[in-house]
Structure 1
Amino acid sequence: MRSGLPSRLCTLFALSSVISLINAFYIPGFSIKSYFDNEPIPVRVNKVYSDRSQLQYAYYDLPFVCPPTGKKHANHASGRSISLNLGEVLRGDRIMTSDYDVAMGQDQECQYLCSHRTDRQAIKRATELIEEGYVAEWIVDNLPGATSFVTVDRKHKYYAAGFKIGYRDFSPLTGKPKYYINNHITLVLRYRQAPGRAGRNGGKVIVGFEVYTKSIEAAHRDSTGCPQDLHSDLDGMETYIAANTTTLASKYPSSSYLPEQDDTDDGSTLTIPYSYSVYFREDDSIEWSKRWDLYFNNQEDSNVIHWLAIINSLVICSLLTVIVVMVINRTYKQVHGKDGSNDDGKLLLKRRKPGNGAKSPRLREKAATGLLEQKGEGGREDDWSSDEELVEDITGWKLLHGDIFRPPPYAAYFAPLIGSGMQLVFMATGLLVLSCLGILNPSFRGGFVSVGVGLFVFAGIISGYFSSRLYKTFGGMNWRKNTLLTALLFPGLLFTTIFILNLFVWAQASSTALPFGTLVGLIALMLLIQLPLVYIGSWYGFHHCHPYEHPTNTHSVARPIPEQAWYTQSIYAALIAGFVPFAVVFIELLFVFRSLWQDKSGYYYVFGFLSIVSLVGILTVVEVAIVATYIMLCQENHNWWWQSVFIGGGSSFWIFLYCIVFYYTKLNIHGFISGLLFFSYSFLACTVYGLLTGTVGFLTAYAFVRRIYGAIKAD
């Protein structure tokens, strides 16, 4: 009993560690901002977005909202842009201070904001955005304004980030759609006493930010601009300007029918009054460190699905593990005197007389590395005459010892791609670790992308090292050219694609488009920081490190590759092998896709589950690479270099196919530009993923090949 107690404690500790990793912190416990009574609280406006479009727009770029006045609110002038990190810019954020006056603890029944005069083009724009279901995102104390929902049993409450800028209704008489703009906003800020000394001094922290909208016609307002009765049912503010009959008659002089509305700018306008209310509600049921939980409560039931995804991954990985063990066991037997080798573990050759005047082929093994011991029928070494032919008594992967480490075709591109793949491996590992530790979380807006770019750039030194050393192993001499290819090939292709897509988005005046300054900054980041780091790593790897040593020498003449089975050919092997890792991760991919393409908020938070699935997925790629490489070698095919990359990255094809299915079955995206952005960015993401897993597949295959041929030499 005593001896079993420590093992049980270790098991419990391991389980608790796994559970804590899964639940991981996604909210940090620092940077708490305390507010005292009557202290101004800045309200910031960000952007509008929709799950039907990939185009986002800055809130103050909308032609039908109140423009900023420039007056100071909470010590900041309205309309002033807030400094953004790279991730925020890339996700389309455009955060600016607003004219909303909010002070801690001060309720405001109604506060007039402005009356904005809009023309027909602005009204048309408002109608289009309402039709597409756009919602606005405002920010208070780093919390996005949310629309609150309650479950059917009224036991749980959860938030959906953003609030609608308007709604559509239908006329009971004509059945035609009518559009109303939400011109009265009610802000509800939930607070509690601040922890520690600040709380004892009267400080309060904000733990919830809710936004409620209402559309109120201009006729139902008093002299101050506020609605006469906020709590009664009032007619909404319709986005409609009556047609000017005089203008229409002059435009259609010979027509007896005049349209009800025309887009011609005839000077007609519609004045939209805006107002807001503010209420503070104390809520001690929410801890500050848990204030983001309400944004994720609607996903609590999905935990069961996450666990099913993990179980599914473990089952597939376990089956592959059994296969890998069988492969290694079979290889061990072949090396140690079974399945076609002699008792000493060396390959046995027999001789026979050539028939039908056949010429004796030259046996490359005789001049190779001494791996083969040539024995006659009497057990002694014979001198082979020109009229005799050697026939190998074995087949399979052992015959490739003189060609297995022959440099691959297009080796000048192979090494730079593997170097970039090592960058991606380092970046992905760092992101998952930081996310599980809680450093990267939804409250760190844009942090995931910003840190990812930083890790990728910093890993340039790793990329240069591996690329140059592999390039040196292939016999390359122009290491500077290899350095430039490593630093510019893959990152340059990514940047060029993003730049071309950016031209389409620029034409739509969307905030999704990268500003020119950001593009210049990315170029500077690539040329002034990443390139020197790649150069340093490449210089060190080429001049201060030896090439990777191989256990066998390479023959001068390549061995002919026999006809291959269809399933070992590059395309089919990659598709078949890639389906297995895809089957491991596809359930978790559904949640990632929902966060990226449907919610638009990007608030994916279950990094613990994602990390476990990712680890199992990488382990699956490793095992698939071993099995597929072994099958390939058994077919006497020594062109395994590129094949290992394709096999490792084959799951990216299935993921892209899954993106297409997701687009047509789950999304409701309209417009050519939105579709172009979806498929282009999905393709880029799958390319990055494919290069990452392809690099893992190559490293695994390389280690496996060196191991089994090194075992023969050692034996």
Structure 2
Amino acid sequence: MERCLRLLLLLLGSGLGSAFYLPGLAPVSFCEEQKVKDNCKSQIELLVNRLDSAESVLPYEYDAFDFCKDENERHPSENLGQVLFGERIASSPYKFTFNKNETCQKVCQKTYDPKSGVSALDFIKKGIQLNYQHHWIIDNMPVTWCYYFEDGQKYCSPGFPVGCTITADGRVKDACVINSEFNKKDTIYLFNHVDIIITYHSGKDENWDGARLVAARLEPKSYKHTGDKAIKCEGPPMEIPKDLTSKFQITYSYSVIFQENDTIKWASRWDYILESMQHTNIQWFSIMNSLVIVLFLSGMVAMIMLRTLHKDIARYNQIDSSEDAQEEFGWKLVHGDIFRPPMKGMLLSVFLGQGTQIFIMTFITLCKFYSFSYPLCFRFSHTV
């Protein structure tokens, strides 16, 4: 029996070990295409994650939007942290070769017509208006978008926006401030191009073969590409029409540059992200304040309960006659509330038995979840 238990624990441990791993503990080495080895690969895969927004509580998977998708889409095994955060990671058509710079490469082209493409394009426009953010991953590391504030302070975000908008009164919203070309009133712009910069440690004087990636940054841009084959990443930004009256095309592209930097160690490749995000500092005062309040309130509740129970127990011990013993008081009166029959109990039992309550809750939850896509359902759920 003991041997069977040991074997079962060993199998469970090996299964969990293959499914989960702690972030940052599985380094991957990369080599140039002509120097590929068993422990050193040349292909770099970019993974896409769910999109979210600070202006909306509803996250969406990458496939919910009509972006470029991988023909052989797969969902890689997520580590423990990604599972706990509810991330939805999938493969993408963005694939690079290590140390091979590429300029203005076409990824895919999306075509929308007034008959069948209105809903997909409107969904992208709604996502831009709510400032939804892409979250991309390279080598288990977020692809960051770094920009500067007015005071010269640098900030790196682990996501970049789908697009930006200019209001009817000429107010520049969200990421439209990064480019002066975004200046047309009442216009929605789409970021259909990204300039990706991948920084790597060459591995010189280290005990591993090949190079390791230490940083991945990008800069979203908007270009109105012309032509189906040869494209040029220049010209006016990509505008999304307010009303789709004719055939409309969106071409997605990218450029990638590799940079060598041996001063950044692989073990500290996350430092530049943490240092630039000031709001991620641990607020020890808030933590201690919350802890003191919880302990204080818990102590008050415990003291009140102990005093009440102590009085009731002392009163029970002083009972002499059987008449007093039959009379219940104090905390024993709780059973009167617990076993009190509800009003119209038969109707309640019928509803619960048929699952009516669960059905109504599920319907309202689904309506709220899809309210972003279906405004009529959204209004109905709020009316309910």
Q: Could you tell me the percent identity over the aligned residues?
A: 25
For 1:693-712, list aligned pairs within 5 A.
Answer: none
CA change 1:331–1:222 in 2 (3 A) is closer
Q: Give the structure 1 partner of residue 323 of structure 2.
A: 364
CA change 1:493–1:105 in 2 (3 A) is farther
For 1:12-411, list aligned pairs within 5 A.
Answer: 28-38=23-33, 39-63=42-66, 65-68=67-70, 70=71, 77=72, 79-82=73-76, 94-120=88-114, 121=118, 122-150=120-148, 157-169=154-166, 176-192=185-201, 199-219=206-226, 224-227=230-233, 234-240=235-241, 262-263=243-244, 268-284=246-262, 286-297=264-275, 300=278, 303=281, 305-311=283-289, 313-314=291-292, 317-318=295-296, 321=299, 347=318, 364-365=323-324, 404-405=331-332, 408-409=335-336
**Could you tell me which amino acid in structure 1 is paired with residue 157 of structure 2?**
A
Q: 1:90 Cα shift?
A: 10
Q: Deviations 1:600-657 (Å, cap 9, x if unpaired)?
A: xxxxxxxxxxxxxxxxxxxxxxxxxxxxxxxxxxxxxxxxxxxxxxxxxxxxxxxxxx
Higher helix proportion (structure 1 or 2): 1
Whole-angstrom distance in 2 between the partners of 1:300 and 1:49: 20
CA change 1:152–1:128 in 2 (3 A) is closer
Contact 2:372 2:378 in 1 (8 A): no
TM-score normalised by L of structure 2: 0.62
Q: 1:212 Cα shift?
A: 1.0
SS of the residue 1:200 aligns to: coil
Rg bigger for which structure?
Answer: 1
Q: Give the structure 1 partner of residue 366 of structure 2.
A: 503
Whole-angstrom distance in 1 between the partners of 2:214 and 2:230: 32
Q: 1:100 Cα shift?
A: 1.9
CA change 1:29–1:45 in 2 (3 A) is closer
CA change 1:34–1:262 in 2 (3 A) is closer
Q: 1:147 Cα shift?
A: 1.7
**Could you tell me which amino acid in structure 2 is paired with residue 31 of structure 1?**
A
Q: Give the structure 2 partner of residue 382 of structure 1.
A: none
Whole-angstrom distance in 2 between the partners of 1:45 and 1:139: 6
**RMSD between aligned residues:** 5.0
Q: 1:504 Cα shift?
A: 2.4
**Could you tell me which amino acid in structure 1 is paired with residue 221 of structure 2?**
K
For 1:607-646, list aligned pairs within 5 A.
Answer: none
Whole-angstrom distance in 1 between the partners of 2:268 and 2:358: 38
SS of the residue 1:33 aligns to: coil
CA change 1:318–1:298 in 2 (3 A) is farther
Q: Deviations 1:387-416 (Å, cap 9, x if unpaired)?
A: xxxxxxxxxxxx96x774577247589xxx
Q: Deviations 1:456-513 (Å, cap 9, x if unpaired)?
A: xxxxxxxxxxxxxxxxxxxxxxxxxxxxxxxxx9xx9998677435532675697xxx
For 1:439-518, list aligned pairs within 5 A.
Answer: 499-501=362-364, 503-504=366-367
Whole-angstrom distance in 2 between the partners of 1:326 and 1:403: 13
Q: 1:204 Cα shift?
A: 2.7
CA change 1:149–1:334 in 2 (3 A) is same
CA change 1:119–1:143 in 2 (3 A) is farther
SS of the residue 1:203 aligns to: coil
Q: Give the structure 1 partner of residue 345 of structure 2.
A: none
Whole-angstrom distance in 2 between the partners of 1:281 and 1:62: 32
Q: 1:67 Cα shift?
A: 4.6
Q: Give the structure 2 partner of residue 517 of structure 1.
A: none
CA change 1:675–1:185 in 2 (3 A) is farther
Contact 2:156 2:277 in 1 (8 A): no
**Could you tell me which amino acid in structure 2 is paired with residue 164 of structure 1?**
P
CA change 1:314–1:302 in 2 (3 A) is farther
Q: 1:182 Cα shift?
A: 1.4
Whole-angstrom distance in 1 between the partners of 2:133 and 2:148: 19
Contact 2:113 2:244 in 1 (8 A): no
**Could you tell me which amino acid in structure 2 is paired with residue 183 of structure 1?**
N
SS of the residue 1:218 aligns to: coil
Whole-angstrom distance in 2 between the partners of 1:409 and 1:296: 56
Whole-angstrom distance in 2 between the partners of 1:36 and 1:147: 26
Q: Deviations 1:188-234 (Å, cap 9, x if unpaired)?
A: 223335699xx534333333322211111224x8962132x5xxxx3
Whole-angstrom distance in 1 between the partners of 2:257 and 2:280: 33
Q: Give the structure 1 partner of residue 18 of structure 2.
A: none
Whole-angstrom distance in 2 between the partners of 1:224 and 1:32: 37
Q: Give the structure 1 partner of residue 13 of structure 2.
A: none
Q: 1:129 Cα shift?
A: 2.5
**Could you tell me which amino acid in structure 1 is paired with residue 323 of structure 2?**
R
For 1:626-705, list aligned pairs within 5 A.
Answer: 673=378
Q: Deviations 1:656-694 (Å, cap 9, x if unpaired)?
A: xxxxxxxxxxxxxx99749969xx9xxxxxxxxxxxxxx
Whole-angstrom distance in 1 between the partners of 2:308 and 2:77: 61
Q: 1:277 Cα shift?
A: 0.6
Whole-angstrom distance in 2 between the partners of 1:505 and 1:330: 45
Q: 1:92 Cα shift?
A: 7.2
SS of the residue 2:363 aligns to: helix
Contact 2:199 2:258 in 1 (8 A): yes
Q: Give the structure 2 partner of residue 466 of structure 1.
A: none
CA change 1:335–1:135 in 2 (3 A) is closer
- Where does structure 1 lack aligned partners over 5 or more consecutive residues? 1-26, 71-76, 241-260, 350-361, 369-398, 414-488, 511-669, 681-715
Q: Give the structure 2 partner of residue 570 of structure 1.
A: none
CA change 1:118–1:154 in 2 (3 A) is same
Whole-angstrom distance in 2 between the partners of 1:405 and 1:330: 12
SS of the residue 1:224 aligns to: coil
Q: 1:40 Cα shift?
A: 0.2
